[in-house]
Amino acid sequence: MTVLDDRPGERPRLDDADGRLAELHEIRARASAGPGEKATAAQHAKGKLTVRERIELLLDPESFNEVEQLRRHRATGFGLEAKRPYTDGVVTGWGTVEGRTVFVYAHDFRIFGGALGEAHASKIHKIMDMAIAAGAPLISLNDGAGARIQEGVSALAGYGGIFQRNTRASGVIPQISVMLGPCAGGAAYSPALTDFVFMVRDTSQMFITGPDVVKAVTGEEITQNGLGGADVHAGTSGVCHFAYDDEDTCIAEVRYLLSMLPQNNRELPPAADSDDSARRRCTALADLVPADGNRPYDMAEVIEELVDEGDYLEVHERWARNVICALARLGGEVVGIIANQPQTLAGVLDIEASEKAARFVQMCDAFNIPIVTLLDVPGFLPGVDQEHGGIIRHGAKLLYAYCNATVPRISVVLRKAYGGAYIVMDSQSIGADLTFAWPTNEIAVMGAEGAANVIFRREITGADDPDAMRARMVKEYKAELMHPYYAAERGLVDDVIEPQETRQVLIDSLAMLRTKHADLPSRKHGNPPL
């Protein structure tokens, strides 16, 4: 034992005290290195990076501050007492992305397959609590085999603590889940509770019950990727928002997404300087959007023409393609864009599109992101499957999300907006702050042909030439009730604008609405149609 005294010149140096600092450096080196070269080689052989390589890609250089690096489990039995690695299979801490603080936890698949035990979960709980308290985004780099079976119910309770904190943080700080390996059973519910889910093709999977269980119960044979791979969740289930071919690209896109989000629900999204003039006229729009309402076009090209430098990040790009949800900038300020996509199902709303757009509206509203809605919608998708699948309930989700949103909301009717879909897509009647329309707009209960067949059924059936009579009635209906200024005359559209002025009008309107303040009635919470 080293004895320290106060005599000048004779106090031992702290880093010489029994070699303790040398021992600390050795322990930290072992903890940082992980379980060894063989395990690292196996990880790389699967096309996967190690946990610290991933953190280095995500965070700014030398900005990572690790928490509880020397934590080890206390479990006994089933051979665990003989294997007590540092970190216990999860690396936690904070750092910066483009100079802004973020918190991160990342599974180390090389240790217990990244499986969650009591100490492992405790580390995650702590970093989640720190993120909530600090008001900064939380990113999880997931590569784990689920609960640590040897620790039994303690591991399951650890997941419960994560889910509870995911829910408490929802709408308070951005939560991003990056799937870089397997995620099975109850572990899959944490990503499902977060704001955004990223996946990497071929190496990441998510499912509640794996292929073996599926085969045993149903007799169906399927691979892990076929059951819960990135493409399945990006295009079929809608669980995954973004899917990429490799980890480097995936993590780079996480950094890009963070640049569009505020630190928490009390801040505005970060503005950015733009060389794209707010006065730029979008002359290309006249050629991109056909005047004929029955002709399809690519709404993505319209968005590209409107936003700064044509740059935007589409969310859920491969799921429910009949509606586009994207983050972009207008005049340097972040906006959320919801737009019908006439190239897919003519841009109708259906069950999946309603859910996709509703979730996006809620996210934008939670994090103070103004919403711009571009309408070209012929209605809701008709069909027995849609009705039996609950299109009423699912469509109401989008309606509820818009009605509940207090951020600035601007709608632009490009061509048609028919029926209930017009109301649901942020019409002025449900609280849009400003509504604009192009001269080609048609706002009505339904299309002219359908309306004429209902209103003038007797005249048409009793005419000598029913087709000619129908054509005349359609023309009359359009002239009376579907002309571009009908809605503006009744105050349901604030202005009819030239297409090439759309960018300038949106930027000016958003600048005016930046100080908007709106309070909802006092309540514990609403009861949305889940």
Residue with the two structure tokens 């399927």 = 222
Please identify which of the residues 185, 210, 238, 431 carries the catalytic annotation: 185
Q: Which of 176, 509, 101, 518 is nearest to 333 (CA)?
A: 509
Q: Which of 489, 490, 452 is nearest to 472 (CA)?
A: 452
Torsion of CA 126, 128, 133, 137, to 10 degrees: 150
Q: Is 185 a catalytic residue?
A: yes
Give, in order, the Cα–Cα distances in Å from 497 to each of 275, 306, 480.
Answer: 24, 14, 21
Alpha-carbon distance of 337 to 409, in angstroms, equals 10
Position 253, amino acid:
E
Alpha-carbon distance of 414 to 396, in angstroms, equals 23
Strand 175-179 with 196-200, pairing: parallel
Please identify which of the residues 358, 421, 444, 488 carries the catalytic annotation: 421
Long-range contacts of 393-396 (CB under 8 A, 24+ apart): 393/529, 394/351, 394/354, 394/355, 394/529, 395/349, 395/351, 395/354, 395/420, 395/424, 396/529
Alpha-carbon distance of 248 to 140, in angstroms, equals 16
Please identify which of the residues 171, 390, 420, 431 carries the catalytic annotation: 420
Secondary structure element (H or E) that encloses residue 104, with its range: strand 100-107
Q: Which of 199, 190, 298, 301 is nearest to 253 (CA)?
A: 199
Alpha-carbon distance of 143 to 319, in angstroms, equals 24
Alpha-carbon distance of 180 to 426, in angstroms, equals 37
Alpha-carbon distance of 446 to 455, in angstroms, equals 12
Residue with the two structure tokens 């702290």 = 14
Q: Is 115 a catalytic residue?
A: no
Alpha-carbon distance of 221 to 219, in angstroms, equals 6
Q: Is 421 a catalytic residue?
A: yes
Alpha-carbon distance of 454 to 458, in angstroms, equals 9
Alpha-carbon distance of 427 to 435, in angstroms, equals 7
Both tokens of 297, joined, read 């076009």
Please identify which of the residues 161, 186, 235, 238 carries the catalytic annotation: 186
Residue with the two structure tokens 């936003």 = 307
Residue with the two structure tokens 């609405």 = 513
Number of residues written out for the chain: 530
**Is-contact 350 322, C-beta < 8 A?**
yes
Q: Which of 379, 389, 392, 316 is nearest to 348 (CA)?
A: 379
The DSSP string of 78-121 is: TTGGG---GGGGEEEEEEEETTEEEEEEEE-TTTGGG-B-HHHH
Alpha-carbon distance of 224 to 235, in angstroms, equals 16
Q: Which of 107, 507, 66, 474 is nearest to 276 (CA)?
A: 507
Both tokens of 370, joined, read 């103004």
Q: Is 451 a catalytic residue?
A: no
Which residues are catalytically annotated? 185-186, 420-421
